[in-house]
Chain A
Amino acid sequence: DFQMTQSPSSVSASVGDRVTITCRASQGLSRWLAWYQQKPGKAPRLLIYAASSLQSGVPSRFSGSGSGTDFTLTISSLQPEDFATYYCQQANSFFASFGPGTKVDFK
């Protein structure tokens, strides 16, 4: 089983801030990792796949990096619509699993 952890569990930030979220896997994933954004009462939205590929329609202020067990999601300049919870998800096995989430809220 692949166990996923995220840090921090929450972060308080302001519009314009650079925000970095880390995801760690219990085993190597190569680059089989995705990032999702979820707002309250809404379905998740795919942001990044294959660790660093930007999903169509996602603003370029979102970027992903990493390989193996350590991955990062960066929002280069936080916008009001970016306040949400972010999840990483491993795609390296037949049994997907998500990280516990990181909530980004107003400072």
Chain B
Amino acid sequence: QVRLVESGGGVVQPGRSLRLSCAASRFTFSAYALHWVRQAPGKGLEWVAVISFDGSNKYYADSVKGRFTVSRDNSKNTLYLQMDSLRPEDTAVYYCARDRGSNWLLYYLDYWGLGTLVTVSS
């Protein structure tokens, strides 16, 4: 069964940085695009970013563009989200999720991790 495990969340002050990781296993990591999706406490889902299977294409939500950077290391089966200039409104559970398309971007998210909580507060 596909496994995605996020880590790196925590409490951080506004304006500071944090890097999230997502360790993947039990599938061919290098063949799939991966997404980050977040959910503020008590709120709905917000798509954050996607990176293609080979890392050549990346797209971001307007709310994080210029502040967040998605990357991946296919040799380590790990996805990253570098979050800079954090704001209180970035407080959320951050999920990584696999795109259903193999070697293709479909934007259907078929497997999700359990999430990691990021709290931005002074």
What is the interface of chain A, defined by CB distance below 8 A to chain B? Answer: 1, 32, 34, 36, 38, 43-46, 49-50, 55, 87, 89, 91, 94-101
Q: Among the interface residues B47, B59, B114, which one has the most CB atoms of the partner chain A within 10 A?
A: B47
Query: Is A94 a contact partner of B59 (Cβ separation < 8 A)?
Result: yes
Would you list 5 pairs from A and B whose C-beta atoms are within 8 A, ordered by A residue?
A38-B45, A50-B108, A87-B44, A95-B47, A100-B44
Considering the complex, give the chain B residue whose CB is closest to the CB of A42: B114
Chain B 87-116 near chain A by CB (<8 Å), digits 1 or 0: 000000001010010000111111011110
Residue count of chain B within 8 Å CB distance of chain A: 24
Query: Is B44 a contact partner of A44 (Cβ separation < 8 A)?
Result: no
The complex places the Cα of A101 from the Cα of B39 at a distance, in Å, of 12
Inter-chain residue pair count (beta carbon < 8 A): 61
**Chain B residue contacts of A1, Cβ below 8 A:** 62
Query: Is B59 a contact partner of A44 (Cβ separation < 8 A)?
Result: no
Interface of chain A, main secondary structure: loop
Query: Is B44 a contact partner of A46 (Cβ separation < 8 A)?
Result: no
| B11 within 8 Å of A (CB atoms) | no
Smallest CB-CB A-B distances: 10 pairs: A91-B107, A43-B112, A96-B47, A49-B108, A98-B45, A94-B59, A101-B44, A46-B110, A96-B107, A34-B108
Query: Is A49 a contact partner of B100 (Cβ separation < 8 A)?
Result: yes
Interface of chain B, main secondary structure: strand
Min distance, Cβ B44 to any Cβ of chain A, angstroms:
5
**Chain A residue contacts of B47, Cβ below 8 A:** 89, 95-98
| B46 within 8 Å of A (CB atoms) | yes
**Chain A residue contacts of B46, Cβ below 8 A:** 98
Min distance, Cβ B84 to any Cβ of chain A, angstroms:
20
Considering the complex, give the chain B residue whose CB is closest to the CB of A43: B112
**Out of B62, B107, B115, which one reaches A43, CB within 8 Å?**
B115
The complex places the Cα of A50 from the Cα of B101 at a distance, in Å, of 12
The complex places the Cα of A87 from the Cα of B108 at a distance, in Å, of 13
